[in-house]
Amino acid sequence: MSNKSKQFNTIAIHGGNSGNSQHGSLTTPLYQTSTFTFQTAEQGEQRFAGNEDGYIYSRLGNPTVTLLEERIAMLEGGEAGLAFGSGMAAVSAVLLALTKSGDHILCSKGLYGCTFGLLQLMEEKYNILHDFSDMDSEEEIISKLKPSTKCIYIETPINPTMKLIDIENVVNVARRYNLLVVVDNTFSSPYLQQPLTMGCDVVIHSATKYIGGHGDVIAGLVVGKKDLLQEINTTTRKDIGGVMSPFDAWLLLRGLKTLPVRMDRHCENAAQIASLLKEHENVENIYFPGDIESPDYDIMRKQMKKPGGLISFTIKGTKKDSQTFLNKLQLIKIAVSLGDTETLIQHPATMTHAVVPEEARLEMGITDNLIRLSVGLEAWEDIWNDLNQALSGLK
């Protein structure tokens, strides 16, 4: 980016080497190709040997994907980025690259259901162990460490309870014990939170969500230090092969251009809806980092730009009442995922976290009457009118 701007909004549009100059294309070119030709056999040899820069095969690198990796690294304040075919491809590549049989991962108590399932698989098949921690204090984190602990893996905000982890506490412990810190930053996007600037080592995104922003792409992104990401790239990404297609990278580059504008509207709408849900007679509790009465409000103010666009809440009722409420909605769509222009709502206990055994799920705070709401970009009044009529229809 020629002007060397450090402003987020500008980097989101112009960051990285766009490669547009040859024909003057304003929009980033889409290099929709599986392989690349060499001028000579000797050139092919040099590229495979790593002695010459250039592209070989799109599983190993592609100009459109490279630009996305450069841009997300700039937005997160990291040295390098890696793109993957899904958020879970990113999570699995990172955790498998950082651990071996006999190692231990300490995790925040509360994770996306498929991340929970991956950790179970890694333990059963490869003897890579894990434990969960509330991470409410440095002492509590330390009490859960083992000699074999290799990294600390956290979500903040946690899916779907919206609990926040104090990143400063985690980093302080990690530095003392020479551990890597991996943060799933999906719920915040780099616009609201930049864990690398707080001392973390790796940031992961399900780019399907806010970074894409339009519900039309499945993708994952990883950002961190160049040497560490090169290790991940040359092992679990290259050889397992969970790579991103050029077209998906092109869609994400388009989505990034409006990320700051969209996030501002998501946050504004969520703040309005949270305040109204909190007062509704059929709502038991709300879980929203922007609620001044939230126990995590001070953490939010310390490490997030804004509280985000997600709200979880419990209704006064049972699992059946929760499903009845969802079925009464008219504008809001019942769907997993989040960060779309549309407002989406789901029932974590039977949907995104159905894989989690009931005992573990309840310990995470995922009850049968918990609802997760991804507030979209519609007029907040229309979102609220739909929620209100469905809630008021409950007995």
If you ran DSSP here, which 8-state letter would residue 28 be given? P
**Is 59 considered catalytic here?**
yes
Which one of 184, 248, 340, 386 is the catalytic residue?
184
Q: How many angstroms separate the CA atoms of 87 and 79, rounded?
A: 20
If you ran DSSP here, which 8-state letter would residue 349 be given? G
**Is 209 considered catalytic here?**
yes
Q: How many angstroms separate the CA atoms of 212 and 266, rounded?
A: 14
Residues 6+ apart with CB under 8 A from 22: none
Which one of 47, 163, 209, 262 is the catalytic residue?
209
Neighbour tally for 141: CB within 10 Å: 25
* 356-373 burial code (b ≥16 CB/10 A, e <16): beeeebeebbbbbbbbbb
**Is 112 considered catalytic here?**
yes
Helices and strands in the chain: count of H runs, count of E runs: 16, 12
Residues 6+ apart with CB under 8 A from 244: 65, 68, 83, 84, 85, 219, 220
Which one of 59, 257, 265, 301 is the catalytic residue?
59
Q: Which residues are catalytic?
A: 59, 112, 184, 209
